Amino acid sequence: MRLKKLQDMRAGGFDPFRANAQQTHFSDEALKAHVDGQDNTVAVKVAGRLVVIRDMGKSQFVKILDQQGQLQLYVKKDVIGDEAYAAFKKIDLGDIIGAEGTLFKSKTGEVTVRMEKYTLVSKALRPLPEKWHGLTDSEQVYRQRYLDLIVNPDSRARLMLRSRIVASIRQTLAGRKFLEVETPVLEGVAGGAAARPFVTHHNALGADFYLRIALELRLKRLLVGGYDRVFEIGRIFRNEGVSRKHNPEFTMLEVYQAYSDFHGMMELIKAIFTDLCRDVIGTFEIKHAASGQMINFAGDWRTVRYFDLIDEAAGFKLSALRGAADYPAKATDAAQKLGLEIHAGWQPFEIVNEIFSKKIEPTLIQPTFVTHLPRELCPLAKLNQEDSGLIDVFELCIGGMEVAPAYSEQNDPFVQREMFEKQAGEEQQKMDTDFLLALEHGMPPAGGMGVGIDRLCILLTGAESIRDVILFPSLRPSDAK
RNA sequence: GGGUCGAUAGCUCAAUGGUAGAGCAGCAUCCUUUUAAGUUGUUGGUUCCGGGUUCGAAUCCCGGUCGACCCA
């Protein structure tokens, strides 16, 4: 039917796919441009997709949707003429039009464009999903996100907010003289984190490449190169499970600042959140979707040592036994008392971290800096001066999720090499020998931080799943119809 | 990878093992300030795919595909 309308139009000498329209106002700008009490004085040219048609015979109210939202148009036979009105009646819901007219307020007080002229600029050959319930089939929401954006205002607003969140972060960092850089996605060694990488092959070079799993080692080379404040917002790839908190490709912000340390990173991440809450979200209190609690981003954030939390969970001073002969047994015992399953070959730090990630992290709803983690958890951080079993780092947890880890970065090439070589446990990082070479040239002391942008967006938009803040989440390929 | 649940008209959803329906969308009709507009009429199905049981399967069984949730 719609195809026939298109064919008729083309036979009549008009092809909507060859037409265009002008846009002087977005919908929200048009709404603001109306002057109270002065109807039909302001002329606008608007454009968008027809999403509502209320036909009353010789006149109709319709609504178009553009980037900023919906705008009502009033189409009157007397105004646009018999011929144009007859043609307008043939337009379908979902078609894209440009319209010119003047602004007025309807009987019910809605600012509306009195349409004088219109142009059909694109024909929709397929119908829109239902207007009231929207599109709820999650598979279609993800696979055909464009339909979700057209009919589900929540999705539209949430994903637009993500764009503004990223823009705000860039602005905060630029204001502090950070340089935004781009580093390779294809790497010979996927380092900087412990994760299974995706592998691909470069034909001309005859070599396998890995998609990066972190940005860290490249950005630190830039510190060596004399760029003292650098950051990258980029996609990284981990060939692991998919869940509400995990997508195989996700966006990471990594920041490195020379002559700073993990305390400096605390200040920086607070500044980023403060700017976001004030400029983008408009509130410092955000509801946590999973728990229903309000997360308060204002004021001082709690800072607590990793092992203090462990001791609290265990119910006794487990940390005092670190290094003692019965530490592994006591740690296993404590974990099992908490109902955790401990695998036979696990190192003590793995057992303790199981307690942290299963029993503690999910309870950290309010912003919390967890500091002084065991050294085995990250080979790239500086060792604590007082206790070389610990590292000078924090893990920022919010909403029960790890949102941002930060370190005082290890810049001693000997210690760094040793840390790589001595790695224990299941999760081990690959040794990047060129990175060690770079360290040997001298890297300034620095604070560094990684921020999972997707998780940040989950928190700030009150979303329930990572898929709600990623435009096109990874799905198993399926044969398109 | 394991478990649970789901897939029916373009969309949102119904349908004791017995003729597959409704609302919206579409089509036609009436209506010159509507707000999920309203009115009258009406079209529309490979019930995800492949097997099996049965006189008869959207429904029961087996296998598969895709998705959601939970667990690892």
Helix, strand, or coil (residue A61): strand
Q: Two tokens at A142? A: 């993800």
Same domain, yes or no: A115 and A177: no
- Place A297 in a pLDDT band, splitting at 50, 70 and 90: very high
Tell me the per-residue pLDDT of A12-23, one tens digit each, with 9 for 90 and over.
889 999 999 999
Q: Which domain holds residue A408?
A: 153-301+366-468
Tell me the per-residue pLDDT of A142-187, one tens digit each, with 9 for 90 and over.
999 999 999 999 999 999 999 999 999 999 999 999 999 999 999 9
Same domain, yes or no: A189 and A115: no
Q: Strands A111-122 and A96-105: what pairing?
A: antiparallel
In a domain, A135, yes or no: no
Nearest DNA or RNA nucleotide to A90 (CA to C1'): B27
Indicate if the pLDDT at residue A224 is higher than 70.
Answer: yes
Same domain, yes or no: A218 and A110: no
User: For residues A229 and A268, is the Cβ–Cβ distance under 8 A?
Assistant: no
Same domain, yes or no: A166 and A32: no
Tell me the per-residue pLDDT of A52-70, one tens digit each, with 9 for 90 and over.
999 999 999 999 999 999 9
In a domain, A245, yes or no: yes
Same domain, yes or no: A110 and A201: no
Residue A390 DSSP symbol: B
Same domain, yes or no: A90 and A234: no
Helix, strand, or coil (residue A106): coil
In a domain, A210, yes or no: yes
Tell me the per-residue pLDDT of A392-450, one tens digit each, with 9 for 90 and over.
999 999 999 999 999 999 999 999 999 999 888 878 898 899 999 999 999 999 999 99
Q: Strand B nucleotides below 7 A of a protein CB?
A: 1, 6, 10-13, 23-27, 30-38, 65-72
Task: Work out the average pLDDT over A257-271.
Answer: 98
Q: What are the phi and psi torsion angles at A126 (to 5°)?
A: -120, 145
CA of A203 to C1' of B70 (A): 42
- Side-chain-facing half-sphere of A112: CA atoms under 13 Å: 18
pLDDT of residue A480: 44
Residue A381 DSSP symbol: B
In a domain, A29, yes or no: yes
In a domain, A355, yes or no: no
In a domain, A401, yes or no: yes
Same domain, yes or no: A107 and A170: no
Same domain, yes or no: A386 and A284: yes
Same domain, yes or no: A97 and A57: yes
User: For residues A431 and A210, is the Cβ–Cβ distance under 8 A?
Assistant: no
Nearest DNA or RNA nucleotide to A141 (CA to C1'): B67
Tell me the per-residue pLDDT of A269-294, one tens digit each, with 9 for 90 and over.
999 999 999 999 999 999 998 888 99
Q: What is the ipTM of this complex?
A: 0.92
Radius of gyration, CA atoms only, chain A: 28
In a domain, A139, yes or no: no
Same domain, yes or no: A253 and A176: yes
CA of A72 to C1' of B41 (A): 30
* CATH assignment of the domain containing A120: 2.40.50.140
Q: Label residue A425 left, alpha or beta by phi (over 0 means left) and psi (-120 to 50 means alpha).
A: left
Q: Which amino acid is at A316?
A: F
Number of domain units in chain A: 2
In a domain, A428, yes or no: yes
Rounded Cα distance, A235 and A252, in Å: 6
**Portion of chain A with pLDDT greater than 70, in percent:** 99
Mean pLDDT of chain A: 94
Residue A246 DSSP symbol: B
Q: Beta-carbon neighbour count of residue A96 at 10 Å?
A: 21
* CATH assignment of the domain containing A185: 3.30.930.10
CA of A293 to C1' of B41 (A): 53
Rounded Cα distance, A22 and A293, in Å: 46
Indicate if the pLDDT at residue A481 is higher than 50.
Answer: no
Nearest DNA or RNA nucleotide to A478 (CA to C1'): B66
Nearest DNA or RNA nucleotide to A94 (CA to C1'): B25
CA of A315 to C1' of B38 (A): 68
CA of A83 to C1' of B51 (A): 59
Same domain, yes or no: A68 and A157: no
pLDDT of residue A479: 60
